[in-house]
Amino acid sequence: MMRRKGPGLKLNVSTESTPPVA
Protein backbone atom coordinates (compact mmCIF):
# COMPACT_ATOMS: atom_id res chain seq x y z
CA MET A 1 0.00 0.00 0.00
CA MET A 2 1.97 3.00 -1.19
CA ARG A 3 -0.41 5.92 -1.65
CA ARG A 4 1.90 8.94 -1.72
CA LYS A 5 0.05 11.67 -3.59
CA GLY A 6 0.35 14.79 -1.47
CA PRO A 7 0.36 16.36 1.99
CA GLY A 8 -3.30 15.44 2.35
CA LEU A 9 -2.39 11.77 2.25
CA LYS A 10 0.55 12.27 4.60
CA LEU A 11 -1.66 11.06 7.45
CA ASN A 12 -2.48 7.87 5.55
CA VAL A 13 1.10 7.27 4.49
CA SER A 14 2.38 7.73 8.03
CA THR A 15 0.16 4.86 9.14
CA GLU A 16 1.29 2.72 6.21
CA SER A 17 5.08 2.86 6.00
CA THR A 18 6.62 6.27 6.61
CA PRO A 19 6.99 7.62 10.15
CA PRO A 20 4.46 10.10 11.59
CA VAL A 21 5.25 13.49 10.08
CA ALA A 22 3.45 16.17 12.05
CA 22 to chain centroid, in Å, comes to 11
How many CA atoms are closer than 13 Å to the CA of 8, on its beta-carbon side? Answer: 1
Q: Which pLDDT score, from 0 to 100, does residue 3 have?
A: 60
Q: Which pLDDT score, from 0 to 100, does residue 15 have?
A: 59
Give the pLDDT confidence of 1-22 residue by residue, as tens digits. 556 666 656 666 555 666 666 5
Q: Which pLDDT score, from 0 to 100, does residue 19 have?
A: 62
